[in-house]
Amino acid sequence: MNQYETVFILTPVLSDEQMKEAVEKFKGILTKNGAEIINEELWGLKKLAYAIEKKSTGFYCMIEFKADPQVIKTLEVNYRRDEKVIRYLTVKMEKYAAQYAEKRRNNKKEA
């Protein structure tokens, strides 16, 4: 299994409850397909660098997980189908990126 990190931006017109519901939906897709979720961070409402679909802000969410490569296709198909998602990016983490992410998580727990 490879380690991945996915960041997606949800439309800003959602309530907090709807936003958390959407995040849980994507986490459910991952776990249903055999992925192991390592970390989840909700970065909140942030300003976008440029307008997307006439929106200047969005809810940023990041999920780190370990999964087989075919899970990524399923996840990204669901991103495309969901009208709440305005952008997404999934990357495979190299060994050093995974080590850095673990170190960052540990520092966050201590603070």
Give me the CATH number covering residue 63.
3.30.70.60
Q: pTM (2 decimals)? A: 0.89
Burial readout 74-89 (b: 16 or more C-beta within 10 A, e: otherwise): ebbebbeebebbbebe
The model's confidence at residue 107, banded by pLDDT at 50, 70 and 90, is confident
Name the domain count of the chain: 1
Output the pLDDT for position 111. Answer: 62
Which domain range does residue 70 map to?
A: 2-110
For residues 81 and 8, is the Cβ–Cβ distance under 8 A?
Answer: no
The model's confidence at residue 65, banded by pLDDT at 50, 70 and 90, is very high
